Amino acid sequence: MSFKRIQDQSVALRLLRNLVRRKRIPNGLLFWGPDGVGKRLAAWEFAKAVNCMESDDDACDTCLSCRKIEHRNHTDVMLITPTGKMRIIRESVITELNDLSAYRPFDSGRRIVLIEDADRMNETAQNKFLKTLEEPPSDTTFILISGQPRFLLPTIQSRCQRVRFGVLSTETIASLLEQHSDVDGAKRPMFASLAGGSVARALELTENKRLETVLHVILSLAKGEDPLALSEQFGKYIQETEKSIAKQVQETQRGSTAPDEEETAPDKDAIEAHIAGLVRREMIEHLVLFDAWYRDELVHSVVPDAPFIHYLGQTSHFSKEVCAHRCAARLKAISEAWMYIERNLNKQRIFRDLFFVLSAP
């Protein structure tokens, strides 16, 4: 399917097609934008198009080169991903990459190196990689894929041609969810609408209890249930979430470190910081859902047929008497809770205080 597989990225694809057609492939490309919008897929399709034996501006998907890349066994197309307990791209990996770049491609005219989550390169790795970009091999292209390019050195960014990827439409995400038969068909539109343009986030909503938990709190508060009791329940939920994330990190990293890697002695503080970061992200995702509900409630009270409602199929649960000042106070409290989560304050206390504001008449 080549570039046709990538949806809702017409600007990025037009740029990539022009690069291939004119055979003016830069040594450095930075594919940046939200997670789950097609950056990684576009990088693979670009690698196919550059080395395609049949087409001028796209991949034919039938020649030997395209088929090798599609099956991830082309000798001149490499993928580098973060590894280890902290999901870091280390200096040793970049050193090996630099050594390989000194040789000509084996089977094609251009070597393509995909660096996924390039912002996960540590400082020494970035500095070493910068030297390669300053004097790049003429027959090698590095594609840096990042959802947070601000963590890359400015000098690295300046030596890469930036290709921006935007969010996906709700319709596109809904159609992609149809490929997952285990997703409730009646809820697909709501999952797609709440995904914020990211199919990865939509899939997360279908796989975890995030949305179910937030809806339980909102509807319980609307019924007049005790916010303190709900905050205690939510506190237990936070603890379970922290344990689950810690377990996943430990299982994922167990055995992932090669014997000759630098991680001979695990850095306990660094691992705990990584887990705390994942928990913080999970709590912020909950706040996004709270925010969407009360914004929807306010919009629906003014324009019942508004097309920009996220909680599709849930409008019957919206409050019949919506006060603009009360909604403003709730949204402000959610925004403040977000700020406090970012500052690593006590999460259970943050949500307790938030629930009291959300329950206020």
Instruction: Quote the pLDDT of residue 356.
Output: 96
**At a CB cut-off of 8 Å and minimum separation 6, what does 67 contact?**
61
Q: Which amino acid is at 173?
A: I
Domain ranges of the chain: 2-164, 208-359
Instruction: Quote the pLDDT of residue 267.
Output: 64
Please, are residues 51 and 76 in contact by the beta-carbon 8 Å criterion? yes
Q: Which two tokens stand for residue 210?
A: 């995030």
Classify domain 2-164 by CATH architecture: 3-Layer(aba) Sandwich (3.40)
Q: Which two tokens stand for residue 266?
A: 């695990």
CB atoms within 10 A of CB 355: 26
Q: In what order do the strands lie in the sheet with 77-80?
A: 77-80, 111-116, 140-146, 28-32, 161-164
Q: Which two tokens stand for residue 186?
A: 């009646």
**pTM for this one?**
0.80
Residue 289 has φ and ψ, to the nearest 5°, of -70, -40
Please, are residues 145 and 115 in contact by the beta-carbon 8 Å criterion? yes
* Residues shown for the chain: 361
**At a CB cut-off of 8 Å and minimum separation 6, what does 231 contact?**
348, 351, 352, 355
Closest C-alpha to 27, from 106, 169, 117, 132: 132
- What is the residue-level pLDDT of the chain in tens, covering all 361 positions? 578 889 999 999 999 999 999 988 999 999 999 888 999 999 999 999 999 988 888 899 899 999 999 999 898 999 999 876 667 888 889 998 888 887 888 877 889 999 999 999 988 999 999 988 888 888 899 999 999 999 999 999 999 999 999 999 999 999 888 888 677 778 888 999 999 899 989 998 988 889 999 999 999 999 999 999 999 999 999 999 999 888 887 776 665 544 444 444 446 777 777 788 888 999 999 999 999 999 999 999 888 877 788 998 898 999 888 888 999 999 999 999 999 999 989 999 999 999 999 998 7
Closest C-alpha to 98, from 123, 65, 134, 74: 134
Q: Which two tokens stand for residue 187?
A: 């809820």
